[in-house]
């Protein structure tokens, strides 16, 4: 196979956790015209966006099945452009691949990405409850940790890590998606919330709810909640809705409980450490990769 030097560089930096953040990828012509895409059925909807299945014709005239994401509300094109800008910098086997941005019309913008026919992990956990085992779930936990470790090296804070934002590629592989809330911290290692969008509180670290301070370590907290969703086979995190009540509860040391069928060792060694009160004492994503490895043995 004819491997381009850039591909080699990227593959190398992806598998080596000690390298500095990746340079931005050279901007391929990822700008699409609306006539390059055809819309099919609606396949998903979150708080901000709507996602459709569709067909894309690339510059070489090849057809590809894609997922097309639009925003529900008007006047939020800056958010969609930011989502595109962040996704454009990322290339990893556990992160959904971007195909392009339809931005010929400022009022009618779409992010186009690879289509994963098996859908979200949240739905997969519910529909395959009976056939899922710990071996599969630990592999998913590994994939998410590796994708998040890569994001940490790329200095991107995801801010919305949850089972609904993980897609299933096949029985052994998952990918991280929905960079709608993601941020690049301008200085230091944290970002202060600037939007008043409704936030997914049960997934948020105590300091995010209290002070709006997001960091890689608050993504680690959300990783713990995502694993809790996985190992309980898609149960809803049952925490108080009101921010004040939730903060008080977390300050008193209460957390989401161990629930069957989650294995107690997985709860104690993988999930619970992500919810340490102090961000500094939580594991980082490379430590979580090691932890999952130990649990796999």
* Catalytic (active-site) positions: 160
Phi, psi of 244 (to 5 degrees): -60, -45
Q: Of residues 132, 156, 167, 270, which one binds ligand ADP by CB under 6 A?
A: 167
Q: Which two tokens stand for residue 43?
A: 């396949």
Distance of CA 212 to the CA centre of its chain: 19
Q: If contact means CB under 5 to 8 A according to the sort of partner, which of ligand ADP, Mg ion, none does residue 96 touch?
A: ligand ADP
Q: How far is the CB of 44 from ligand ADP (least distance, A)?
A: 2
DSSP codes joined into one string, 6-59: HHHHHHHHHH-TTSPPPPPPP----EE-GGGEEEEEEEEE-SSEEEEEEEEE-T
Decide if 30 contacts 88 (C-beta within 8 A): yes
Interface with ligand ADP includes 234 (CB under 6 A)? no
Q: How far is the CB of 222 from Mg ion (least distance, A)?
A: 12
Interface with Mg ion includes 229 (CB under 5 A)? no
For residue 261, cis peptide bond before it (omega within 30 degrees of 0): yes
Q: Is the dihedral of CA 101, 11, 140, 207 positive or negative?
A: negative
Binders in 147-176 for Mg ion, by CB under 5 A: 165
Give the nearer residue to ligand ADP in terms of CB position, either 67 or 156: 67
Q: How far is the CB of 144 from ligand ADP (least distance, A)?
A: 15
- Binding residues vs Mg ion (CB under 5 A): 46, 165, 178
- Binding residues vs ligand ADP (CB under 6 A): 43-49, 51, 67, 69, 96, 113-116, 119-120, 164-165, 167, 177-178, 180
């Amino acid at each position: 196979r004819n491997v381009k030097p850039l591909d080699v560089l990227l593959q190398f930096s992806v598998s080596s956790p000690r390298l500095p953040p990746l340079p931005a990828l050279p901007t391929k012509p990822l700008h699409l015209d609306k006539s390059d895409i055809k819309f099919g059925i609606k396949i998903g909807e979150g708080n901000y966006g709507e996602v459709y299945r569709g067909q894309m014709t690339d510059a070489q005239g090849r057809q590809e099945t894609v997922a097309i994401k639009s925003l529900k509300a008007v006047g939020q094109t800056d958010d969609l452009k930011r989502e595109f800008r962040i996704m454009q910098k990322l290339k990893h086997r556990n992160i959904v691949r971007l195909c392009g941005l339809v931005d010929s019309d400022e009022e009618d913008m779409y992010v186009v990405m690879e289509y994963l026919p098996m859908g979200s992990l949240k739905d997969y956990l519910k529909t395959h409850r009976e056939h899922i085992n710990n071996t599969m779930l630990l592999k998913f936990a590994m994939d998410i940790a590796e994708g998040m470790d890569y994001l940490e090296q790329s200095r991107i804070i995801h801010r919305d890590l949850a089972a609904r934002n993980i897609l299933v590629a096949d029985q052994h592989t998952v990918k991280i998606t929905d960079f709608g809330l993601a941020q690049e911290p301008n200085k230091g290692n944290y970002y202060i919330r600037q939007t008043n969008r409704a936030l997914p509180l049960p997934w948020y670290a105590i300091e995010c709810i209290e002070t709006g301070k997001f960091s890689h370590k608050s993504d680690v907290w959300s990783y713990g909640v995502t694993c809790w969703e996985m190992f309980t086979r898609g149960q809803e995190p049952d925490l108080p809705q009101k921010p004040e009540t939730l903060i008080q509860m977390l300050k008193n040391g209460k957390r989401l409980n161990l629930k069957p069928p989650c294995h107690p060792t997985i709860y104690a060694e993988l999930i619970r450490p992500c919810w340490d009160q102090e961000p500094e004492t939580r594991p980082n994503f490379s430590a979580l990769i090691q932890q999952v490895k130990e649990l796999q043995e």
